[in-house]
Amino acid sequence: MAMGIGTDQLAQRALRLPRSPKILTGLGILLFFILWAIIGPFVRPYSPDATFANAPVPLPPSGAHWLGTTQVQQDVFSQLLVGGGRMIGVALIGGIIATVASVAIGVTAGYLGGLADDLLSMLANIFLVMPALPLLIIMVGFLGQSASSNLFVIALVIAVTGWAWGARVLRAQTLSLRNRDYVDSARIIGERRWRIIATEILPNLTPIVATSFLFTVLYAVGTYAALAFLGLVNPNWSWGGMLFYAQLSNAELTGYWWWFIPPGLAIALLGTSLVLLNFGIDEFINPRLRTAGLTSKGRRGRRGRRRPEFALTPVIRTVTGTGISTGISTAASTATSAGTGPAAEGGLA
Amino acid sequence: MRAIARRLGFYLVTAIVAVSLDFLIPRLIPGNPVDAILAKAQGQQFSTATIAAMDEQFGVNTKASLWAQYTHFWSDVLHFNFGVSVSNGFEPVSSVINAAAPWTLGLVGLATLISFALGTLIGAIVAWRRGSWLDNLLPVVTFFQAAPYFFLAFLAVDLFAIKLGWFPAEGAHQNMDFPAFNWTYISDVLDHAVLPALTIVVASAAGWIVGMRNVMLTTMDEDYVLIAAAKGLPRHRVIWYAARNAILPSVSSFALAIGFIVSGALLTEIVFSYPGLGLLLVNAVADNDYALLQGIFLLITFAVLLANLIADFVYVFLDPRIRQEA
C-alpha cells in the first residue's frame, strides 16, 4: 500500500522497515557475504591454484586444509574465500544494469502509454517467456572463453536476460500512478515530463524498484553459478566453477562432500538472504503477507482479540485522492508476490 | 476466444524473435565460430563440403546478403535442418536432439506437474493455517528456493544414491541398448527417474508454495469468503472458494516459472548423467558444437511456448471472466 502515500510517510515507514526479522536476517547474511567478498582474497591461507600433497584422491578436512583438498590437491577453503568476490561482483553489476534497464523501460512504457507501451511491453513479455538459460548459453558460447572471462561481460549478458520481470512490474505500477491527482496537477502546472517522472512517480516506486533489484541480483547469483557450473565462463575461481570441477571428478559419486557442499551452501545462503530481503519488502508493501508472529502482536493492540477460527484479516481501505485505492494496490502487490513466487527461484540454478 | 487468439499471436511473434536471435547471435558476436569449431575438433576430419555448410550456417566467408541468409535460415528451420553436430560424429542435429528430447520432456513434464500440484496445495494450507507451526516451513522453503538445482542434485546423489543406496545415481536406465518394452524396463526407467525428478520437484515447489500462499492470504480477505464462512459452510468448502480464485495468478505466472524450471532441470540432468538435452547441451558447450546449441535453444523455446499455450487454455477454463469476453 505504499503508493497511496507521500514521500514523507514513505520515509517514516522506511525507518520502521528494519524491524522485520526477515529483513534483519537477510541483511545480516548479505553483509557477511559482502565482507567475505572484500576480505576473502586477503585472508586466504593458500593460493587457490597451488597444489599440495601428492595424493591420488581429495583429502578430507584437516588442520592444514580446513575444508580439505580437491582432486588435484588444491585447498578448497582458499578457493571458497576467493570465489566470493567474483560472485558478489557479477551479481551486483548485473543487478544494477538490469534494474536501470527495467526502470527506464518499465516507467517509460507505463507513463507514455499508447504505441510505445505496446511495443515495450511486448519486448518485455518476449524476454520473459523465452527460456533464459539456452539463450545465455548460445550468447556466451559464441562469445568464446576469452570474452566471457571478463566479469563485466558476464554481468552484461546476464542483465540482457534479466531485466524483463522488473520492467513489467514497474510498468504496471507506473500505470496506476500516472493518473493520480497529484500527478495530474503537476501536469496541469506545466511540469516537464522528465521532472514529473523523477519527482512524482519514481519516489513512489522505490519499494518496487528495490524488490526488482534484489530479484535481479538473485537471478544473477543463480545464473552466474549455472554458467560457471556448465564450464561456459572461466571457472577459476568461482563457487559455480568449484562445482564444475567437482562434477568433472564425480565428487558426488565418491562422497567427497567437503568439495561440493561448501560452495553450494554459500550460493544457497547468499540466495536465501536475498529472498528473505525480498519477502521483507513484499510484506512492507502488502502487510497481509506477514507471518503471524509479527501481525498478531500489532493487531491485538489495535483491534483486540482476533477470530481464532479463520485467519481473516481486515480489509484496510485507504482513501486517497482518486478514491478507494485498495483495488489497485492489491492488484499491484499481488503482481509482486506472484512474481517473486515462482520467478525468484534463485535464477536459473 | 479473443484472449486466446491474442496470446497465440504473441507466441508467434516470440517464436519469430527466437529464430531471428538464433540467426543473428553468431553473426553479431565478434569472432569466427567455424574457426573455433575447427580449433576445438583437432584430429577430426572435416570435408570441404562440411566446412562450406558451416560457413553458410554461421554466416562467415559468404557473399550472400544478410536478408538472403536470413530467408535461407528460415527455410532450414522449417525443414528441421539445423546442420550437423560436430560432437556427435557429424550426425544431423535434428536426429541427435530427437534421441535426447523424450527423456527431458518426460522428466521435466512429470516433475513440473507434480511440483505445481504439490506446491499449490501446500501453499494453500500454509496460508489457511497462518500463525500455526506451518509458518516455520517458510524459512526452509526459502532455502530450497534459493539453492541451485544442481547443488540439490549433488546432495541427492550423495545422500540417497551413494550413502543410502536407495536409488541408482546415474543414467536413465540399466542397459544402454533398448530392451523389450516390458515391465522390467519400465520399472527400471522409473527407478532411475525418481531422484532427478525429486530434485526438480523439491527445488521448484518452493516457488509455487510461496506464490500460492501470498495470493491466498489476499483472497481470504475477500467478501465472498467472509460470507461463505458466515453462512456456516464447512471449512473445506470455504477454503475451496478461496483457493479456486487464488490459483489463477499461479497459473498465469506459469509462463515465468516454466523457463526457470526447464533451465534448472537441464542442469540437474548433468549431475545425474541423465541422457537428455541438458547433457547434450554441456557436451555441445565443451566441443564448441554451435549447430547443436542453436538447435537445442530453438527446441526448448518452442517447448516452453507450447507449455505456456496450454497454461493459457487452462486459465480460460478456470476463469469464467475471460470466457465472458468472447
- The predicted model gives A240-266 an average pLDDT of 86
List the domains of chain B with CATH numbers. 2-92 (no CATH), 94-315 (1.10.3720.10)
Q: Interior CA angle at A236 toward A232 and A237, to 5°?
A: 115
Name the residue with cell 517514516. A12
The answer to whether A23 and A276 are in contact (CB under 8 A) is yes
Mutation pick from A130, A239, A276 vs chain B, by most beta carbons of B within 10 Å, is A130
Q: Tell me which range, A60-64, A219-223, B280-284, is most confidently predicted by mean pLDDT.
A: A219-223
The answer to whether A120 and A142 are in contact (CB under 8 A) is no
Integer Cα distance of B145 and A224 in angstroms: 16
Closest to B249 (Cα-Cα) out of B110, B120, B118, B145: B120
Mutation pick from B86, B152, B157, B256 vs chain A, by most beta carbons of A within 10 Å, is B256
pLDDT at A320 exceeding the cut of 70: no
Architecture per CATH, A11-301: Orthogonal Bundle (1.10)
pLDDT of A67-112, one tens digit each?
888 877 788 888 888 888 889 999 999 999 999 999 999 999 888 8
What residues of A are in contact with residue B262 (Cβ under 8 Å)?
131, 133
The answer to whether B301 and A131 are in contact (CB under 8 A) is yes
CA distance A332 to chain B (A): 11
pLDDT of A147-158, one tens digit each?
777 889 999 999
Q: Tell me which range, A90-104, A183-197, B18-32, is most confidently predicted by mean pLDDT.
A: A90-104
Strand ranges, E, within B219-303: none
Nearest to A255 among B162, B281, B294 (CB): B162
Domain boundaries, chain A: 11-301, 314-343
Interface check B233 vs A, CB under 8 A? no
pLDDT at B87 exceeding the cut of 80: no
Interface check B235 vs A, CB under 8 A? yes
How far does Cα B172 stand from its chain's mean position? 18
pLDDT of B94-111, one tens digit each?
888 888 888 888 888 889
Interface check A148 vs B, CB under 8 A? no
Contact A128 B301 (CB under 8 A): no
Greater model confidence, A334 or B4: B4
What residues of A are in contact with residue B30 (Cβ under 8 Å)?
147
Query: What pLDDT sits at residue A348?
Result: 39
pLDDT at A14 exceeding the cut of 50: yes
Interface check B294 vs A, CB under 8 A? yes
- The predicted model gives A243-272 an average pLDDT of 87
The answer to whether A35 and A88 are in contact (CB under 8 A) is no
Interface check B257 vs A, CB under 8 A? yes
What residues of B are in contact with residue A246 (Cβ under 8 Å)?
154
User: Would the ipTM clear 0.85, i.e. be above it?
Assistant: no
Q: Tell me which range, A194-208, A211-225, A269-283, is most confidently predicted by mean pLDDT.
A: A211-225
Query: What pLDDT sits at residue A307?
Result: 37
Give the relative orientation of helices A76-112 and A114-129 as an angle to the nearest 10 degrees.
Answer: 150
pLDDT at A215 exceeding the cut of 50: yes
CA distance B98 to chain A (A): 17
pLDDT of B212-242, one tens digit each?
888 888 888 888 888 988 998 998 888 888 8
Residues 12-31, chain B: which have Cβ within 8 Å of A?
Answer: 13-14, 17-18, 21-22, 25-26, 29-31
SS3 B268: helix
Which amino acid appears at position A50 of this protein?
Answer: A
SS3 B23: helix
CA distance B172 to chain A (A): 16
What residues of A are in contact with residue B305 (Cβ under 8 Å)?
129
Share above pLDDT 90 across residues of chain B, in percent, rounded to a whole number: 5
b/e string for B209-243 if b means 16 or more Cβ within 10 A?
A: bbbbbbbbbbbbbbeebeebbeeeeeeeebbebbb
Query: What pLDDT sits at residue B88?
Result: 77
Nearest to A135 among B229, B281, B297 (CB): B297
SS3 B307: helix
Nearest to A134 among B150, B170, B296 (CB): B296
Backbone angles phi, psi at A233, to 5 degrees: -110, 155
pLDDT at A32 exceeding the cut of 90: yes
pLDDT at A2 exceeding the cut of 60: no
Judged on CB neighbours under 10 Å (0-12, 13-18, 19+), A262 is buried
pLDDT of B239-260, one tens digit each?
888 888 888 888 877 777 888 8
